Structure 1
Amino acid sequence: MKRLELEEIKSRKRPLIVATVASVCWSLLSFNAYSVTFVLFFAIVWLYYYLSRRALRTLTITRSIDRERLFSGETLTLKYSVEGSRFISLSTTLFPVIIGDGEYFVPKESSFVLSSNGTGKVETKITFWRRGKKDLSRLVLTSKDPLRFFSHIAKYSAPESILVLPKVMNIDYFPLRLRELLPGSRSDFELMEDPVDFRGIKEYEREPLNRIHWNASAKLGKLMIKEFGYTAVSNTILYLDLNLSREIFARDVWEKIRIDYEEIAVQLSLSLVRFAYGSGGRISLVIVGDEVLRLSGPGRDWTDFAEVLADTRGSDQGPQLSEIIEEDLERFDLATTVVIISMYLGEDILPQLLRAKSHCSRVVVIIIPFSPREPWTKRTVSYQMLPRTIEGLKRRAAVLEEEQIVVRVVGDNQSIQEVLVDLENR
């Protein structure tokens, strides 16, 4: 819980000034009981004006939130407590102000009457659909007199922010290749779990029935399965390219595409990281954005990747993916699967992809130039106007397929899950 401090108060009192001047002029021109009554009335209104302004300075406002981390699509609950002044009641309206990266949120306002020595409590819920850090610091509180002769706008703040993590896609398949056994030779790689390495139990998720731990299930009241370690694990290096390629000429068109692509690509990357952790594999993530970030799997949980991806941004002038892959060629070995997620496949990167294939077990390239279809929606007729460079992109993808480099271009009427199932069946 944090206490908010007053930043400034702005008052609007022009109607009160005009009405006061009019009543004074009336009393000077015609001094009678009615004119005196109006002068006294506006004197009381002016007194209420100064008392209400002073009350706003002495309010005690606290804020609490139900969490500091949440995923896209989840709801945040903000609770405000406002302790009133000693002398007067105030008719107030409260506006939480939330600022994100290129976004500005003003949740639904909450109006209430704050009585003297009373406390008002306000609860606001807001759902975030884009990842990133959201600033919750500011609060705007307005107060008007019942006759609307004046109003006050007070701004309060206390530093506080939350992190909205990327949405996680539901992925059931992805080809994380393991090294095959050598005939007649002892090898450290096996294509199965190690039944001796019992790690523990976890909740049942469509696994075979022979994996169910019946004793634990009976004690916990829900199906639990045995979880084993692996005698061999996949080693995956995932490259997430968020920048605009230098080969693109229609940069204004592609920059608009890149904004939507960035969200989809980050979600897919986090989902693949989580899938790799769930299948017992090792994965490293290389983010090519405003700067190059590298995250390795050992000692981390998949949520650590989520926190980094939540605040990652690309640009139209950042480092190029081809240069990063060229630097990393020596990191690859015959047990490595290289996965690349990008928006565009240019001519410059083709030599690096061919060299990467000669150093590792498999290269998988997923190109997302469109906003993919959600998996629960039906296919529709597409009338989307596509850049001409898309045809060249598909042609280069076909050339790489001939060199045993797996390339998939996500169509504008395809879902990500359909493309991944196609990769699994390849």
Structure 2
Amino acid sequence: MSRLKLRSLKRSRRLSGIKLFGFVWAICLLYVLFQGGKTSIMLFVMVSLLAVYWLLSLLGTKLKTRGSRSLSTDGDRRLLQAGDQVRIKFRMEPPRFLPVPYVIVREVLKRHSGESWSFEESIVPKVRSGGELVYQTPPLERGSYSFTDTELVYEDIFGLVEHKRTVAVPGNFQVLPRTIFIPRWQLFERGLRFAGPQTQQAQSRHETTQIGGVRDYVPGDRMTRIHWNATARTGELKSKEFEHESMPNTMLILDGSAESYPHADLFELAVSTAASLLDYGGRNLIRMGLCTLNASPRIFPPELGPHQHQQMLHHLVDLLPDGQSYAEGYAFMESQSHQFRSGQLLVYISPRSLESFSGMLQFARQRQMTLYHIQIGGFNSRESGSFQKPVWPGAGIQSTHLNTLEELPAAVGGGRV
């Protein structure tokens, strides 16, 4: 309602200004007709030229203004991660005959969570090439970003008349969660009954007969390894990629209930932890899935391949801790129990302590799955000197704690501070 009142107030002011100027022009015309002389003619011509200029400015702002926007980052990386800054270049081309001394450009960048950033700067457009506005965003957090309609404010040379119009230049981009490199995960080297010895490189492990994907042909591959269907489709030699043994199917379970995260930083740490573990699984050819328990829970079954990996990462981009309660997430897992198979490794990522999720332990025991707990915050690993916490007595659960993302490689690798 306030917007409508503001618009009507501006419209009434504009009409009052037009009426006032029309009255002044009529007085000058009468002055010429009844008085005559050089002074009256000069005054009438000046007022008439000013009227023509304002009329052309008003008509010019009604014409289409072209705009374009381009994004770039330091190092020209195609994928943005949390903490990166984006360099934005907005280019506008107003009508060429429009006599505009400068234009105020207002851009608004919105995040999926509702936050917004406003950028405002004045530019001096050139007659032929238009104007260009270049600005840089602050370090961006994880999320989906989009631009609203750009507002252009024109003013005349005298600064008396202001014209506003909006230009729709759609644009959006995503910022992936921040990740950290994990060189090794002790859980897959020892301590589990199904985890055999693992070398530094995933290719040194023995292969199974289960096809896990397709890769480019490498000189020396056997004829039986060539994937003839993929070769026929692409026109290039392709080889079969087999899965490796001794690596369990892993399901990451990310707690997304609002009551579990008193601070937003805790949820960002949990998301970054899940993304870092997904990167580790992709590098080491581990069939790794993802289950997020928020208001819109979703499950990605453990699979290999870059497509599945990218889907899970992009799902984490605009994830929010908006789940109603922990019980609803547990009920969703029960309803999707066919997605959880015997022998899987469940990695539960949550600020909750071990004692508060007995239902998760019961869920894993009923399906003969191994449970691993990564607790976010709530434990001072630097004072204790170790990231690992003793296994819950009689439960067979291994646990670790994180306060910062930089602690993750040492925490899962069995390191000490």
Instruction: Determine if the TM-score, normalized by the shorter chain, exceeds 0.5.
Output: yes
**Equivalent residue number for residue 220 of structure 1:** none
In structure 2, relative to structure 1, the CA distance for the partners of 1:190 and 1:120 (3 Å cut) is same
Counterpart among 145, 151, 157 of residue 140 in structure 1: 151
Mean alpha-carbon deviation: is it higher for 416-425 or for 172-181?
Answer: 172-181
Mean alpha-carbon deviation: is it higher for 284-293 or for 82-91?
Answer: 82-91
1:165 alignment partner AA: L
* 1:229-378 paired onto structure 2 within 5 Å: 230-245=244-259, 255=262, 257=263, 259-296=264-301, 297-299=303-305, 300-317=307-324, 320-327=328-335, 335-345=343-353, 349-357=357-365, 359-360=367-368, 362-369=370-377
Pairwise CA distance, 1:24: 6.7
Aligned equivalents of 1:21, 1:120: Cα separation in 2: 34
The 3-state SS of whatever aligns with 1:323 is helix
**Equivalent residue number for residue 180 of structure 2:** 169
1:405 alignment partner AA: I
The 3-state SS of whatever aligns with 1:109 is strand
Aligned equivalents of 2:279, 2:129: Cα separation in 1: 49
**Equivalent residue number for residue 214 of structure 1:** none
Pairwise CA distance, 1:37: 5.8
In structure 2, relative to structure 1, the CA distance for the partners of 1:323 and 1:228 (3 Å cut) is closer
**Equivalent residue number for residue 90 of structure 2:** 80
Counterpart among 61, 67, 75 of residue 62 in structure 1: 67
Counterpart among 121, 145, 148 of residue 109 in structure 1: 121
- Alignment of 1:403 with 2:395, yes or no, is yes
Considering only aligned residues, what root-mean-square deviation do their CA atoms show, in Å?
4.5
Pairwise CA distance, 1:92: 1.3
- Kept in 1: contact 2:103–2:155 (CA 8 A): yes
Pairwise CA distance, 1:241: 1.1
- Alignment of 1:418 with 2:410, yes or no, is no
Give identity over the alignment, percent: 19
The 3-state SS of whatever aligns with 1:134 is strand
Aligned equivalents of 1:21, 1:372: Cα separation in 2: 76
* 1:109-258 paired onto structure 2 within 5 Å: 109-115=121-127, 117-127=128-138, 129-177=140-188, 191-192=198-199, 193=202, 195=204, 230-245=244-259, 255=262, 257=263
The 3-state SS of whatever aligns with 1:363 is strand
**CA distances 1:38-87 after superposition (whole Å, capped 9, x unpaired):** 66545433332221222222244131434785332334344433334243
2:159 alignment partner AA: R
Pairwise CA distance, 1:178: 6.2
In structure 2, relative to structure 1, the CA distance for the partners of 1:162 and 1:154 (3 Å cut) is same
- Kept in 1: contact 2:83–2:139 (CA 8 A): yes
Aligned equivalents of 1:239, 1:87: Cα separation in 2: 61
* 1:47-58 paired onto structure 2 within 5 Å: 47-58=52-63
Pairwise CA distance, 1:140: 1.1
In structure 2, relative to structure 1, the CA distance for the partners of 1:267 and 1:422 (3 Å cut) is closer
In structure 2, relative to structure 1, the CA distance for the partners of 1:311 and 1:35 (3 Å cut) is farther
- Kept in 2: contact 1:128–1:164 (CA 8 A): no
Pairwise CA distance, 1:283: 0.5
Pairwise CA distance, 1:337: 1.9
In structure 2, relative to structure 1, the CA distance for the partners of 1:100 and 1:242 (3 Å cut) is same
In structure 2, relative to structure 1, the CA distance for the partners of 1:175 and 1:362 (3 Å cut) is farther
- Kept in 2: contact 1:23–1:38 (CA 8 A): no
1:141 alignment partner AA: L
In structure 2, relative to structure 1, the CA distance for the partners of 1:145 and 1:60 (3 Å cut) is closer
2:279 alignment partner AA: R
Give the total of aligned pairs: 356
Aligned equivalents of 1:403, 1:125: Cα separation in 2: 52
The 3-state SS of whatever aligns with 2:119 is coil
Mean alpha-carbon deviation: is it higher for 150-159 or for 355-364?
Answer: 355-364
2:157 alignment partner AA: P
In structure 2, relative to structure 1, the CA distance for the partners of 1:37 and 1:339 (3 Å cut) is farther
Pairwise CA distance, 1:153: 1.4
Aligned equivalents of 2:288, 2:355: Cα separation in 1: 27
1:403 alignment partner AA: A
Aligned equivalents of 1:25, 1:60: Cα separation in 2: 34
Pairwise CA distance, 1:325: 4.3
- Kept in 2: contact 1:177–1:362 (CA 8 A): no
In structure 2, relative to structure 1, the CA distance for the partners of 1:200 and 1:21 (3 Å cut) is closer
- Kept in 2: contact 1:194–1:231 (CA 8 A): no
**CA distances 1:105-147 after superposition (whole Å, capped 9, x unpaired):** 22352411342x5533444443551222222251111111222
- Kept in 1: contact 2:85–2:140 (CA 8 A): no
2:358 alignment partner AA: L
In structure 2, relative to structure 1, the CA distance for the partners of 1:352 and 1:84 (3 Å cut) is closer
Aligned equivalents of 1:286, 1:57: Cα separation in 2: 52
Structure 2 gaps of 5+ residues are 1-6, 73-77, 208-214, 218-240, 384-388
- Kept in 2: contact 1:131–1:164 (CA 8 A): yes
Mean alpha-carbon deviation: is it higher for 56-65 or for 19-28?
Answer: 19-28
- Kept in 1: contact 2:256–2:294 (CA 8 A): yes
Per the normalisation by structure 2, the TM-score is 0.68
Pairwise CA distance, 1:307: 1.2
Aligned equivalents of 1:34, 1:191: Cα separation in 2: 98
The 3-state SS of whatever aligns with 1:107 is strand
The 3-state SS of whatever aligns with 2:188 is coil
2:97 alignment partner AA: F
**Equivalent residue number for residue 393 of structure 1:** none
The 3-state SS of whatever aligns with 1:106 is strand
- Kept in 2: contact 1:15–1:150 (CA 8 A): no
Pairwise CA distance, 1:372: 10
